[in-house]
Every structure is written in structure tokens, then in C-alpha cells.
Amino acid sequence: MLKIFNLPDLGEGLTESELLTWKVSVGDPVKVNDVLAEVETAKAVVELSSPFDGTIAELHGESGTVVQVGAPIVSFDLPGDEPGESPHPGPDAGSGALPDGRVPTLVGYGAAAEGAGRPARRTRVGRPATPHPAPSGPPAGSPVAAATGAAAPATSTLTAERPRSTPPVRRLAKDLGIDLSEVQGTGSGGVVTREDVQQAAEGAGPASGAGVEAAQDPGVRTLGGRPRIQEEPIRSVRKATAAAMTASAFTAPHVTEFLTVDVTESMELLEDLKRHRDFRELKLTPLTLVARAACLALERTPELNARWDGDHGRIVRQNYVNLGIAAATPRGLMVPNIADAQALDLRGLAGRLAELTRVAREGGLQPGHLSGGTFTLTNVGVFGVDAGTPIINPGEAGILALGQVRRTPWEYRGEIALRQVMTLSLSFDHRLVDGEQGSRFLADVGAVLSRPGMALALF
């Protein structure tokens, strides 16, 4: 019996996932909870497990395909029934049948399956909606057709089936001016692939604009020796990051302030701590000290740790700090957070920062690491940058960027000396934070970094 497994909601109402790699092939036997594939959501890479014991009958999609939640992803042949039997319970099905003919998924029941074999394909806009496919009838010219007067169905563009392809491939075809109905698909089941579209575009020859640009002298050196034009799909993390940053930039009125600080004493403190027996195994960096200073400063300016709830007409004050750390990972920009950072001392913060960094680099961040942040730090200094205007993480009131530490001529005790200097950049939501509060927070962080001993006097 054929069973269709629909992509489940993998957490927090996500609507789609990108298929990264298949772990099975057609014909493979599988058991319940065997890993079928790795899929990437906007928040994490997740292993998709089998809900059935059976044999893989069909894989609905190739690596790189974006699959909507509730859409078919795998078909199984299950033991116990004759091949070709309908996967849907009939009207006389017993109480054990699934409601509405839906097939089980790992989370809920997913979307209703529309056919016993392959899933029904989406039709063009304007195609008449019919609850069931019309019977095909006998072939035109056959004795049966002649006897019954049946005519062969007419073909029109309105009722023609759209060529099977993925959204990124359709987007590429649109950009290149390629009509997918004229492209022969070479993918599984006749799916039109990116390579099919690119070959169709090359065969058509250059027209104007980008096409003319791409057809120029192939001997001209390009950047890095790469092709003149390269395209890649907008993947889950990049898509989510773009949506979040756009929403933040055009919803929260951003204000950015800067403060340049002499951090020589802080850098000397770090060197002393690295030699101390309690810190030898830990990685101590300027980010560790800024994290501790920010938690202390939020004690005096809780407005920077609040949340704007416009839907309910209120400001939510959070008396704890889930400290987000903006991180460049193999999957793109992500902001995992340290829960209850306000309760950690410098040693505890150093340990949690090291653990988060390791998990992020290994690509092991899970949705729980990425939700619930209240304030964010971003370290642009590791890239040799002095300052910037960071965009606030959605749902938060502020973000603090720390620039590189550089040796700079600086006034020190009435004379000019080479000192280690850092620029701090604070962006805050002006709905929640007034200029006075933002300035006071920035000054408090700077005071701790310029003279670490001030933490004992101020907090």
C-alpha cells in the first residue's frame, strides 16, 4: 500500500524547509525513526525521521528544493496490502482510519493526500476547479467511441498542466526570460531543474542587458576567476534574516550613538586573568568583558532591556538578560543568546560564550538557542572594523557593536601616549529609549571598560 508522508511543521509555525540531503534512496527499506533527510528551516538544520516501516517508493524533491509544510516529501510502500491499493480509507473504513483521508506525519497529520499514487500537482490560475479528475474516456476513433459518441477531450492552455519545478527554478526562468513549458525536464519524474533552465538560456543566445554582458570575451579576467554571472537561491536563514532586518529597520525608529574608549586597563586585566589558575582553560576576549559590562549597565538602564508590544498597547520590562551574540555561521548570520546572563560572573560568561561559539561554528544551533533574546552584542572588531550602525534584533530595544582594539595616540594623564582604544556603537529603539537613557547606558559600559575597578563603585 502506498503512503505519502507530508513535511511536518518543524517548530514555531515555520511554513517551509529547504531539503539539504537525502539519507535514503528509492527502494531502500526503512524503519520508524530512521533518518530520511536533513532539512534546513529558518532556524536550524533538522533530521527528518520516518513515521513508517516500509520501503521508499518515491522521493518528492531534490537537494536544494524548498518544500512547503504539508506538501508531500516521501512516498512509502507499506507491507500488508496489495500494491496499488488506494492509500485512502473508503467510506466503510473502521474507526481506526485517519480523518479525511489524511496520512500521518511526525507532527500532526499534515495536508490531505489527493491521489493514490503521486501527489496532485498545482494547477495554473484560471483552471476550472473540480473536486475529482474527469474520466479520460475511450480513445477517439475507437469502436467504443464510435458507438457511444464520445469525443476526445479538447486541449487548451487554460487546462494544461504547469511544468513541475521548484520556486527557485521558476524564479531563475523568469529572470532569464525562459518559458518553462518549452523546457524538457531531466529531473526525477520530469522535474525541470536549474541546469535545464540554464541550458535553455544558453541555447537561446544573448539578447540584451545581462545577456550581452555574459557573452563578452571569455578571455577577460573575472573576479576570482569565477563565471561572469552566478546565481544562488535565497536560502532559509538568509531569507529569514532579510525579513527580520527589514521589519526592524522600518518598524523601530533607530538611533545610533558612538563612544570611543581607552580600554588599556581592560586589556591588561584580560592578560592577568589568562595567567590566573581559574581562567587558564577559558578563552577570554574583549567580548567577554563587554558582555559583563553590558549586563551591569542594564541594571541602571532597564529601558534597553524592554520590549515594545504595540498589539496590546504596552511596554514589557524584562528583569533578566538573555544576551544575544550575533554570530557569522556556515548557515549565515544568527543570534543565539545566553539565557540569564545577568546571573553569570565573568568566568561563567566566558564559558557560555565559548560553548555558543563552538556550537554555532559546527552548525548545531537549535531553535531554542535563537529565541527569547532581550539585548544583543555584535563584535565587528574581529573583522578589523572600528564602528558601525547595527540594526536592532526584532523584539529587542537595543544592540551594542564593539569595534576593534587599536593602538592610538591618546591623551593620558596630561600627555600623549599610545593607548589601546575601542569604539562602541549603540543602536536603540527610540520608542522605548530616550536619548538620555541610551547615553547613560553607553557611558556606563565605557566607564567599566576604561577602568574595570569602577564596576565595584557603580554597581
Determine which helix (DSSP H) or strand (DSSP E) holds 22, and give its type and residue range. Answer: strand 16-22
Residue at a domain's end among 101, 116, 139? 101
- Asked if residue 57 lies in contact with residue 75, where contact means CB atoms within 8 angstroms, the answer is yes
Shared domain for 63 and 190, answered yes or no, is no
Residue at a domain's end among 71, 101, 131? 101
Each residue's pLDDT tens digit, 100-129: 443 444 433 333 334 434 444 444 344 444
pLDDT-derived band at 163, boundaries 50, 70, 90: low
**What is the per-residue pLDDT for 216?**
58
> Cell numbers of 148, please?
457511444
pTM higher than 0.75, yes or no? no
Burial of 169 (0-12, 13-18, 19+ CB in 10 A): buried
Q: How far apart are CA 89 and CA 94, in angstroms?
A: 8
Output the domain CATH number for residue 195: 4.10.320.10
Shared domain for 303 and 445, answered yes or no, is yes
**What is the per-residue pLDDT for 341?**
96
- Report the amino acid identity of residue 55: T
Selected catalytic residue, list 88, 132, 312, 430: 430
Q: How far apart are CA 149 and CA 157, in angstroms?
A: 25
Shared domain for 177 and 254, answered yes or no, is no
- Asked if residue 102 lies in contact with residue 110, where contact means CB atoms within 8 angstroms, the answer is yes
Shared domain for 278 and 384, answered yes or no, is yes
pLDDT-derived band at 218, boundaries 50, 70, 90: low
Query: Does 346 score more than 50 pLDDT?
Result: yes
3-state secondary structure of 341: helix
**What is the per-residue pLDDT for 134?**
43
- Give the total residue count for the chain: 459
Highest mean pLDDT among 155-159, 171-175, 177-181, 356-360: 356-360
Q: How many CB atoms lie within 10 A of CB 18?
A: 23
Residue at a domain's end among 186, 206, 226? 206
CA distances from 382 to 141, 210, 263, 273, 378 (A): 76, 36, 16, 21, 10
Q: What is the mean pLDDT of the chain?
A: 79
Each residue's pLDDT tens digit, 86-96: 444 333 333 33
By percentage, how much of the chain surpasses pLDDT 70? Answer: 76
Each residue's pLDDT tens digit, 226-261: 888 888 777 777 777 888 888 898 889 999 999 999
**What is the per-residue pLDDT for 217?**
65
pLDDT-derived band at 81, boundaries 50, 70, 90: low
Query: Does 187 score more than 80 pLDDT?
Result: no
Each residue's pLDDT tens digit, 310-342: 889 999 999 999 999 998 887 778 899 999 999
Number of domains in the chain: 3
For the question of residue 312 being annotated catalytic, the response is no
Q: Which domain holds residue 189?
A: 165-206
